[in-house]
Structure 1
């Protein structure tokens, strides 16, 4: 019967364990390089053996199917080893950014309830924070360390450990959303959902990727870069990890030349740093085919400079943790596509293969092309749920659509334009203001390198715009000059009431500009509403 609910006797469907990506590649390409890190080169066979050895150790320590393992440390070959070992043993991975505060790690542990932890020496305080929250019956393993309890002390296994059986809907990754306040939310990513994501990344982002390619890691593997790693493993492309723990552009470009890197996953701020560094002109980067960026819109001026420097290799995708990057794609050939009249920023692309985007009003009705509303998504890239958080699940979905919390519109051809987040929009004197439009215009000023516009409370207007800018060191401009420059370029109510200048903008451990932190810092530095100022 059409539309009928499956009978209770419908058999469960097996899913493919993510560790099987490695199992297949190690069998097919045993002697090719899997990971390069400084002088270290692991082949696929060696990585596979190390993964089996660590999986066996986790099982010996009592890891049971569905148990969570917290993974906490910088990018390193053993980080990748731990990822696949947890999956091979049947566990659920919970990677965290090693730069988080102890209190954040403690909250994360309270949500995902790990039974074991893999941690680097730099995260000793994180281990203590977790242990103050709960016991770790399977213990702590050292990442990139020597001695008792270190991953390096777990011998290679000549005997393969079979990939644990998993079923459709079984969790593989607790992906903690970034930039939230209060108790963190863990998006439950399943083996079958991530299998779709891997396939989609290869189809839509990097279609030519194979074992002759290599990928440079310049963002934390605990987040989007870790997802980007999975297609590389599936196709046998080498993963190159810089030796430096933080971004060094000269090192990155030297590795691009030496390892003939074909793809990079990053965020717009890192693209900007890489492209503006003089070392970009000192090394051959002609092997690059895909510079994939996500996490935030890239300002038009930065896009143009990157394309002029690197060629047409930029690939943008839009997606949240909950949809694992699978909402839209903007291939290199579509960069520079004209925007509709009156729109000063570019598109983030068209819906990913197999995904559907719907622009909806407050009641869930779909809006026509050109009308702005909340971006909602459906398709196999959407996560299962938030872990043990029914309230968040209820607010995240409406009529089966995942609500992104972002505002945007589609044009007549289905290309999506993001105007901002619901939480970023502010209302000044009864008018809705979306900061992104103002920020794009500010970045067109030759003195402005970075700009963030926030709505701050005001007793007269409800909220007023405050712009925080970073200037090019070789130039100068004051607040009134910048406001005067903006005045003919936008409606009067959009011109920021205040403009302040900082040496740099605070960023998260993932390289993102965090508006909440900027708001707090503004207040800490003495910003207050100026009710006595005349209206703009």
Structure 2
């Protein structure tokens, strides 16, 4: 038991130091730090009066808005556990998160009545249901904020390992698991993000939120609160690239967190050339490796402001960083082209083989990590915990290698690798090579059974709008770039690739669709 600061103290400090300054902006509405802290305090007090206490799980399903932000800090003020869900999930997916977390309180956006009903039916532990938005069928968030009758609650006393957040995995290979993030862990992550990703951030910076606050953006916004920097929300849940660039110009945005798919959409949209984005200092991307061709395009459009970091939700993105100075358009051999960067401050990385032995530089194995950013473990999942924590390391499930200078290179997920003719094949390498063909917008390579080779690769491609491509052109493009055993034996063209609620290509779903279409 090691007492530590409650994460909600960061919002209290922002109100004390920068009270009249903008903390959150959406459209024409501006919430100051004082207003946000007051609203959070009253909401937390009202929730406490309705029975929410330290350790309780509070499920929140909402689009980005001020109330979504406020639920995060209200939960922490009480010492409760924030359980945010991605608003793009289906009712059945949300109902599973509600039941598996055993949340005692549900807070739902009024735009998702079916999700709320499914969650309430599945979760017998739910005692409270509140709503965000207009025409609420029950007590809404604004009623909680307006409740002056509840005694004001102070910041709950917390220990370093007290859980503050259930960060659910994306579940691309099975049921999502609740990663338990703690107050001590997240305090370290906040400081580390500011040190390694956005050095010299102050109250004069402005951040644009373009991804759901339920996951990576929720972590990123903590860093802005810690420094008293304003965050700007898009007007709706839909990514409008023109609006995003207009907001960058209007508010002189200095930083944003994105995932590679969003960054590519933003920089390929024609609006990037019509609005002034010279204020940008850090455009951070994470969640998946960025294809080299997309990275080069982004650098051409917005300049040397890209920051890449690598890290799973379980390590809250805190494994490596590739800062702006190490990004380059040219394939200069003196730069770590294709690397996701160096170990984050205070973190240690090892490449281990199947026996837990540490491998030498250049050897491929599982990427493992240890340090203060590693989570407490999975909620009520001994099997997953035993598998993930071995040999004194957290096992990420990703494959890669370190070079002699300590730069990390990701080969792909261990579950994505397939064996063809006795040789390991990593789809990521093939996808990278395919995407250097200008006509191809997206690529996904999966291994499928093969009578002769055991397994072989099938490439499913999406052609860029206005372009044309065929299998022969793709193979001709790959000639000399890949060994013959790595070449896909089949090349298919689809209108789109299925993606998870987190914007990642869902390879398990691709395989299912492939089987269905080939059986038809």
State the TM-score, normalizing by the size of structure 2. 0.96
The alpha carbon displacement at 1:98 in A equals 1.4
The alpha carbon displacement at 1:150 in A equals 1.0
> What's 1:55 paired with?
44
Residues 304, 328 of structure 2: 8 Å contact kept: no
Structure-to-structure mapping, 1:41-440, within 5 angstroms: 41-135=30-124, 137-146=126-135, 148-156=138-146, 161-336=153-328, 346-440=338-432
Q: Partners in 1 of 2:448 and 2:292 — Cα distance?
A: 26
Q: Report the secondary structure of 1:526's partner residue.
A: helix
> What's 2:513 paired with?
521
> What's 1:38 paired with?
27
Q: Report the secondary structure of 1:467's partner residue.
A: strand
> What's 1:9 paired with?
none
Q: Report the secondary structure of 1:406's partner residue.
A: strand
CA displacement, residues 161-184 of structure 1 (integer Å, 9 cap, x when unaligned): 311111121000000001334332
> What's 1:448 paired with?
440
The alpha carbon displacement at 1:285 in A equals 0.4
Q: Report the secondary structure of 2:194's partner residue.
A: helix
Q: Partners in 2 of 1:448 and 1:92 — Cα distance?
A: 43
Q: Partners in 2 of 1:339 and 1:368 — Cα distance?
A: 25
Pick which of 343-352 and 185-194 moved more.
343-352
Unaligned residue ranges in structure 1 (runs of 5+): 1-11, 529-536
Q: Partners in 2 of 1:474 and 1:416 — Cα distance?
A: 36
Q: Partners in 2 of 1:160 and 1:132 — Cα distance?
A: 32
Q: Partners in 2 of 1:527 and 1:380 — Cα distance?
A: 49
Q: Partners in 2 of 1:138 and 1:89 — Cα distance?
A: 17
The alpha carbon displacement at 1:425 in A equals 0.4
> What's 1:484 paired with?
476
The alpha carbon displacement at 1:487 in A equals 2.7
Pick which of 501-510 and 46-55 moved more.
501-510
Residues 120, 145 of structure 1: 8 Å contact kept: no
Q: Report the secondary structure of 1:365's partner residue.
A: coil
Q: Report the secondary structure of 2:518's partner residue.
A: coil
The alpha carbon displacement at 1:30 in A equals 0.5
Q: Partners in 1 of 2:171 and 2:382 — Cα distance?
A: 20
Q: Report the secondary structure of 2:479's partner residue.
A: helix
The alpha carbon displacement at 1:453 in A equals 0.7
Cα RMSD after superposing both structures: 1.8
Residues 106, 126 of structure 2: 8 Å contact kept: no
Q: Partners in 2 of 1:262 and 1:344 — Cα distance?
A: 26
Q: Does 1:26 align with 2:18?
A: no
Pick which of 514-523 and 253-262 moved more.
514-523
Q: Partners in 2 of 1:129 and 1:268 — Cα distance?
A: 32
Pick which of 25-34 and 484-493 moved more.
484-493
Residues 58, 138 of structure 1: 8 Å contact kept: no
The alpha carbon displacement at 1:436 in A equals 1.1
Q: Partners in 1 of 2:126 and 2:420 — Cα distance?
A: 54
Distance 1:464 1:279, change over 3 A: same
Q: Report the secondary structure of 2:203's partner residue.
A: coil
Residues 428, 464 of structure 1: 8 Å contact kept: yes
> What's 2:462 paired with?
470
Q: Partners in 1 of 2:155 and 2:500 — Cα distance?
A: 35
Residues 363, 402 of structure 2: 8 Å contact kept: yes
Q: Partners in 1 of 2:12 and 2:90 — Cα distance?
A: 36
Q: Partners in 2 of 1:294 and 1:432 — Cα distance?
A: 26
Q: Partners in 2 of 1:267 and 1:505 — Cα distance?
A: 16
The alpha carbon displacement at 1:137 in A equals 4.8
The alpha carbon displacement at 1:42 in A equals 0.3
Unaligned residue ranges in structure 2 (runs of 5+): none
Q: Report the secondary structure of 2:111's partner residue.
A: helix
The alpha carbon displacement at 1:518 in A equals 1.3
Q: Partners in 1 of 2:393 and 2:371 — Cα distance?
A: 9
Distance 1:505 1:137, change over 3 A: closer
CA displacement, residues 174-228 of structure 1 (integer Å, 9 cap, x when unaligned): 0000133433211100000000000000000001211111111111111111011
Q: Partners in 2 of 1:179 and 1:221 — Cα distance?
A: 18
Distance 1:474 1:134, change over 3 A: closer
Pick which of 455-464 and 168-177 moved more.
455-464
Residues 344, 440 of structure 1: 8 Å contact kept: no
Residues 407, 422 of structure 1: 8 Å contact kept: yes
Pick which of 366-375 and 131-140 moved more.
131-140
The alpha carbon displacement at 1:414 in A equals 0.3
Q: Partners in 1 of 2:352 and 2:332 — Cα distance?
A: 20
Q: Partners in 1 of 2:330 and 2:349 — Cα distance?
A: 21
